[in-house]
């Protein structure tokens, strides 16, 4: 065990209040590794168990950790309307293959305030017939909001699905000016 591991756990997490409810942010030494919606106690416990199983180390609640400081700052700024994109190191270890390729394209190629269709995103990664597989990749996204799966919509104008719930997707798209703010 090196001295850094004694000081800083390998995976840390904290809950941040946002415009869509509490978000769990988890980070490793490689970067932000997970964002979890609706971070109630039960959701946090399940997310921590899943991270421990997938990453082989017990995540530690550490809201003051330097590993989380910039992610917390940027997420708060995004929800305050002061930030349009994220400039964070990301740890992609929870996703691989086609899903990782699609999510990387989404993160770099679909800016704030714009949307893309599932089929269009499939075409961007060289798989024009893979719209459904893109939908599965969005559902497997371990970094929602930061890797903006809320910006992927149906080609016919429908909002599409969303792991955080359709109301959450609507609120994120409204924050970015794609949809009008709900009246109530």
The set of catalytic residues is: 149
Upper half-sphere CA count for residue 62 (Cβ side, 13 Å) = 18
Q: CA 163, CA 43: separation in Å to the nearest integer?
A: 13
In 3D space, the residue among 35, 121, 113 whose CA is nearest the CA of residue 81 turns out to be: 113
Find tokens 């932000």 and name the residue. Answer: 32
CA angle centred on 10, ends 48 and 5, rounded to 5°: 145
The owner of tokens 């903006």 is: 148
Q: Which of 25, 169, 163 is nearest to 91 (CA)?
A: 25
Three-state DSSP class for residue 50 = helix
Give 83: exposed, middle or buried? Use CB within 10 Å, 0-12, 13-18, 19+: middle
């Amino acid at each position: 065990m090196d001295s850094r591991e004694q000081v800083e756990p390998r995976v840390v997490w904290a809950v941040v209040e946002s415009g869509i409810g509490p978000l769990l942010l988890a980070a490793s030494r490689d970067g932000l590794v997970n964002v979890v919606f609706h971070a109630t106690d039960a959701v946090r416990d399940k997310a921590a168990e899943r991270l421990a199983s997938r990453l082989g180390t017990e995540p530690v609640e550490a809201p003051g950790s330097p590993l989380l400081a910039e992610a917390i700052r940027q997420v708060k700024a995004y929800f305050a309307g002061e930030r349009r994109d994220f400039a964070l190191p990301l740890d992609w270890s929870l996703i691989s293959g086609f899903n990782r390729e699609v999510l990387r394209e989404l993160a770099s190629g679909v800016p704030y305030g714009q949307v893309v269709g599932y089929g269009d995103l499939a075409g961007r990664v060289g798989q024009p017939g893979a719209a459904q597989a893109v939908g599965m990749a969005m559902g497997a996204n371990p970094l929602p909001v930061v890797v903006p799966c809320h910006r992927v919509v149906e080609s016919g104008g429908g909002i599409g699905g969303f792991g955080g719930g359709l109301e959450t997707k609507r609120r994120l798209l409204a924050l970015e000016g794609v949809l009008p703010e709900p009246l109530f």
